[in-house]
Amino acid sequence: MVSSYTEFEVSDTATAFEGGDGHRQFSHLTKGSSWALELGVEKVLNVTNKLEPYIGGYIFAGGVREEEKMDVLKDNTNTGWKTGDYEYVFSRGSKASIIGVAGVAGFNYFMVENLAIGAEFSYGWSNYTWKGGEVTIEAKEGATTIEETYTRSDDYKIKESEFGAHGAKVTLSWFF
């Protein structure tokens, strides 16, 4: 059994064109963390005393916490709240539970008897159930500010499934 914890932060700034002369400039920031408990099996393919490739599979369950903020700096696309050039901020907090199954392939290269460096790639299916969270929208035009906040109940759920690469990692392992 393996447990994992990851913190992440992704940000970008872009200008999106939506026909005519209209455009939207925005910055986007997503922060969060995830954790998982994994239970799996591996079949070691003994090649040499130093190189040890393996294949296997695992099931996992965990959770994700995420905060997202999109700051629209200028919007004159006429697709927003109202016509004109204005600014608004959309922020959202969410949490999700996750379950899945994946196959794994990798290798360990033993530098000394019980210490190995390795690499691993996993591919599989995962199912996320997002629920609850709080959403805040703040719009500004000149000195006027409109703010709206609402909390989603835990009855509000979004389910997503994905099939694909689950990750690649480099490992340093000590065997005892």
Report the length, in residues, of the chain.
176
Residue 30 has a pLDDT of 77
pLDDT digits (tens, 9 = 90+) for 139-163: 766 666 777 777 776 667 778 888 9
CA distance 122 to 169: 9
Instruction: Give the pLDDT band (50/70/90) at residue 96.
Output: confident
Tell me which of 13-17, 60-64, 117-121, 165-169 is least confident: 13-17
Please determine, for residue 112, whether its predicted confidence score (pLDDT) is greater than 70.
yes
Please determine, for residue 19, whether its predicted confidence score (pLDDT) is greater than 60.
no
What is each CA distance from 68 to 49, 71, 94, 150, 155, in whole angstroms? 48, 10, 8, 15, 20
Residue range 119-130: mean pLDDT, rounded: 91
- Cross-strand partners of 165: 123
The token pair that represents 139 in the structure block: 């719009």
175 secondary structure, DSSP code: -
The token pair that represents 149 in the structure block: 């906040």
CA distance 102 to 57: 6
So where are the chain's domains?
2-144+168-174
The token pair that represents 74 in the structure block: 């200028």
Alpha helices in the chain (DSSP H): none
Across the beta sheet with 51-75, the strand order is 2-17, 23-44, 51-75, 86-112, 115-141, 144-174
Residue range 86-113: mean pLDDT, rounded: 85
Residue 75 has a pLDDT of 55
The token pair that represents 171 in the structure block: 């490992």
* pLDDT averaged over every residue in the chain: 77
Residue 146 has a pLDDT of 72
